[in-house]
Amino acid sequence: MFSGDLLRRYFRYFVLIVSIIVVVMGFFWLNFLYTRHQRELTSIEESTAIYLQEEARNQARLLEQWGEEIKANQLIALEDLLVQQASLLKAGVYDIFTAHGAQGENRADLERLISNLSLSGDLKIQLVVGELSLGVPLEIGEDLAEGNNYLEDKIVNYGHVTSPDYYFWIQANPQEYVNQKIEGSFRDFALWDDDIYLKDSRGKLILPIGGYHDEEGFYFEEFNDYTGYSYGYFISKSALSQAIDNRKDLFESFLRSHVVEIVGFLIIFIVTTFVIYRRGLQLIEGYYTRLNDEILDAFRNELSLSQSPNFQHFALGDSFDSIIRESRLRSQDYEEKIDKLSKELKKNKLDRLLLERKIMRLSELPFTKEILHNYSLENFSPRDLIELIHRKIDPDMSIEILGSKEIIRSDLGLFSGLVEEIFKLSRDENRNYSIRIVRDGGQMLIYFTLKGMDGIEDDKMQELKNRAKLLDGVFLRHQLEADTLHLVLSLNDIRNEEV
């Protein structure tokens, strides 16, 4: 059978073993994760470097496409600009001639008109009215058709108006115009992404990245024949370090969460096991209590445990029945022996006391008569002594004492023992004692009325008589009555006698 200490020991061993297993497995698991993480970092660093290099290449290619689109769009815009400026020039000349008419008066207005139109797109304009030539002299030397004409490195818009009669040429350098637009657009792009850079056909850095030559990183550039620029994109190596650091932070967070999970599991496991242990201990204690109650009930009421459901395992019922029978037999044997020895002891005590009294009575020695006999005699009130013995022996017993507190001289110990034996005669729940004390000449008579019993064993009666003899008295059964025992004790009153 299990005890609380044994269960506690098993509980501690169980918790300790499981905790050690969880900690060791957790350590190996975390070590495995860390080793795999270190290997992954190397692989991630290589793959990230490849990715960043490819990203720089893709961004540079995207910049190159943007440059081509810008050039194509700006060439179209330049053609439209030349056509637009030619229209404005025609309208302006017409207004000037309509307003002034005379050539001498409109020269200044024509020069102002040409100057204003030249500012748009860095254009060069020549206007010939009769013998008057205004603007920038252009040496074209070719026959041009009206509208836009594409020459080697420029675009010229030619126009001839008959009324008033004049000619004009509007010239633009498309390469300079487009380069200006491309560089301006990429400067705007750099405000949003400062990792782009641009070089001209001679390799001169037009749009620099601050200090990118002095910093390790990933970059890619490619020259475009169509636009005449080299487009590049730079990614600092700090981006790779940042990616690795982010991966490390993610792993550390993952590792911390695993540690928290292991610690949380241990706490939940210990708390749950403790609750189960306490509940199991309570159930076992209740089970043992029921077993103990059944065993005591079977022992007291002579019942069999073999049919009890709590004792059907491992033949416990038959074993306990055998133990109870043997215990009951031994208990009965011990009680008989104790009763026999008690009676013998009482008989021997009475015999000894009777012998001592006989010796005191027969002895003629003054020492024995005066010292020994007087030493055992005391003055006391039988009523007070009986009340004291009642409170001591049987306080629950109902008692009634009649008579005054007369003083008698006798052996206090022998008298107390006699009264105690009388109180022990009945154990009935409805027992009731009535005592009456009467002095009659040289005698003191004490009548005992015990309700709840109507008989007394001869051996017990003889014992009480022997005790009375030790007091130089007589103990008799006074009268007969159903369910009531009447006894009387007669003592010699020697309080005024000389010993």
Q: What are the distances in angstroms from CA 192 to CA 185, 186, 187, 239, 346? A: 12, 10, 9, 17, 121
Residue 58 has pLDDT above 90, yes or no: yes
Q: Output DSSP code: residue 410.
A: E
Residue 300 has pLDDT above 60, yes or no: yes
The whole-number pLDDT of residue 255 equals: 78
Between residues 302 and 378, the one the model is more confident about: 378
- pLDDT tens profile 146-181: 888 888 788 888 888 887 788 888 888 888 888 888
Q: Which pLDDT band, with edges at 50, 70 and 90, does 121 fall under?
A: low
Q: Output DSSP code: residue 215.
A: S
Q: Which pLDDT band, with edges at 50, 70 and 90, does 359 fall under?
A: low
The whole-number pLDDT of residue 369 equals: 41
Chain position carrying tokens 């001869």: 458
- Token pair listed for 162: 């008959």
Residue 204 has pLDDT above 60, yes or no: yes
Give the helix/strand (H/E) hosting 179. Answer: helix 174-190
| Beta bridge partners of residue 401, listed in sequence order | 435
Burial classification of residue 157, based on how many CB atoms lie within 10 Å of its CB (0-12 exposed, 13-18 middle, 19 or more buried)? buried
The whole-number pLDDT of residue 62 equals: 92
CA-CA distance, 152 to 119, in Å (whole number)? 23
Instruction: Return phi, psi of residue 191, to 5°.
Output: -65, -25
The whole-number pLDDT of residue 368 equals: 43
The whole-number pLDDT of residue 365 equals: 41
Between residues 480 and 371, the one the model is more confident about: 480
Q: What is the mean pLDDT of residues 355-379?
A: 55
What does DSSP say about strands 443-451 and 432-440: parallel, antiparallel, or unpaired?
Answer: antiparallel
Arithmetic mean of pLDDT over the chain:
80
The whole-number pLDDT of residue 325 equals: 75
CA-CA distance, 191 to 194, in Å (whole number)? 6
The whole-number pLDDT of residue 192 equals: 83
- The DSSP annotation for 309-378 comes to GGG-GGGHHHHHHHHHHHHHHHHHHHHHHHHHHHHHHHHHHHHHHHHHHHHHHH---HIIIIIIHHHT-E
HSE, side-chain direction, 13 A CA sphere, residue 185? 16
CB 233 within 8 A of CB 196: yes
Q: What is the mean pLDDT of residues 331-338?
A: 84
Instruction: Return phi, psi of residue 382, to 5°.
Output: -55, -35
Give the torsion sign (CA, 50, 56, 58, 61). Answer: negative
Q: What is the mean pLDDT of residues 248-252?
A: 80
- pLDDT tens profile 228-243: 899 988 887 777 777 7
> Which residues make Cβ contacts (< 8 Å) with residue 66, sequence separation at least 6?
185, 186, 189
pLDDT-wise least confident of 134-138, 318-322, 368-372, 409-413: 368-372
The whole-number pLDDT of residue 344 equals: 81
Between residues 421 and 332, the one the model is more confident about: 421
The whole-number pLDDT of residue 141 equals: 62
Residue 128 has pLDDT above 80, yes or no: yes
What the chain holds in terms of domains, given with CATH numbers, is 1-246 (no CATH), 376-492 (3.30.565.10)
Q: Which pLDDT band, with edges at 50, 70 and 90, does 115 fall under?
A: confident
The whole-number pLDDT of residue 210 equals: 53
CB 56 within 8 A of CB 234: yes
Residue 403 has pLDDT above 50, yes or no: yes
Pick the closest to residue 194 from 136, 236, 143, 137 (CA basis). Answer: 236
Residue 73 has pLDDT above 90, yes or no: yes
- pLDDT tens profile 206-223: 877 554 544 677 888 889
> Which residues make Cβ contacts (< 8 Å) with residue 108, sequence separation at least 6?
none
Pick the closest to residue 169 from 208, 217, 135 (CA basis). Answer: 135
